[in-house]
Amino acid sequence: MTEAAETTTGVNPDRVSFTVALEAARDQLITAESVLPGTPGPGVIAQAALAALLPKRRTRISARKVKSALSRYPGHAADAGPLTSQNITHLTIAIYAAHPSTPTTDTNTPVTPPVSGRQGRRDRTLQLLRTDDQRAWSLKEIAAALGMEHYRSLCAQLGHWVTDGILSRTGRGLYALQPEWRSPQPPAPPAKMTGLPHLSTT
């Protein structure tokens, strides 16, 4: 992060976001980008960090104390910070006008609870398989129809649905709907036993 700031004149290393640098590094690992020798100049992480700099610090009223004697930037000539600390004698408070009030929502209107990602994905998968429920679908075919580039998580979910009895695995990477799940109405769960059976003795 400090090296990224040093490639641009007048950028304080404090303004380089650790989160942006971490996400850029993560994206390189996941997508395998920039695996070939890079071009001269700032790398992908440095470019991402410099493109999303944090705002400048507020004006300092006290001298900056560097905790490490080997700090890479003990001081900047362009830094407007004071060399000695100053005592605060008064404060000026500015009150800004309030933002226009947003329209209130009707409390009587029923709110639809959000659908979880897993439940929504299952519904979309079932709708897809019901379009041709007499054949087996491959994992890549299902992932492509759902618009999923990385289908590892979908493979795990399909395995859970096989265990739950929703799907059947007909081959390696092939899945088909169970007969009772081919209709939009899911099958009713089995009735639970409320008591122990009565045993008669002779």
Is the pTM of the predicted complex or chain greater than 0.75? no
Query: Residue ranges of the domains in the chain?
Result: 2-34+41-51, 117-181
Could you give the CA distance from residue 142 to residue 125 in angstroms, rounded to a whole number? 7
Which of helix, strand or coil describes residue 109? Answer: coil
Q: Is pLDDT at 63 greater than 50 in this prediction?
A: yes
pLDDT at 186: 63
Asked whether 175 and 137 are in contact (CB, 8 A), the reply is yes
Give the residue from 186, 148, 149 showing the smallest Cα distance to 167.
Answer: 186
Per DSSP, helices labelled H in 85-199 are: 117-130, 139-145, 152-163
Mean of the per-residue pLDDT values for the chain? 74
Confidence (pLDDT) at 191? 56
Q: CB of 70 within 8 A of CB of 33?
A: no
98-142 per-position pLDDT tens digit: 767 655 555 555 544 444 445 588 888 888 888 888 889 888 888
- The CA-atom distances, in angstroms, between 82 and each of 64, 67, 85, 86 are 8, 17, 7, 8
pLDDT at 159: 86
Tokens of 62: 């006290």
Percentage of residues in the chain with pLDDT exceeding 90? 0
State the Cα–Cα distance between residues 183 and 95, nearest whole angstrom: 62
The predicted model gives 2-24 an average pLDDT of 84
Q: Indicate the CATH number for domain 117-181.
A: 1.10.10.10
Render 30-82 in DSSP notation, one character per residue.
Answer: HHT-S-SPPPSSS-HHHHHHHHTPPPPPPPPSS----S-TT-S-S--TT----
Q: In whole angstroms, give the CA distance from residue 114 to residue 131.
A: 26
CA separation (Å) from 144 to 138, 147, 149? 10, 5, 7
Closest C-alpha to 175, from 186, 159, 164: 159
- Distance between CA atoms of 57 and 118, rounded to whole angstroms? 43
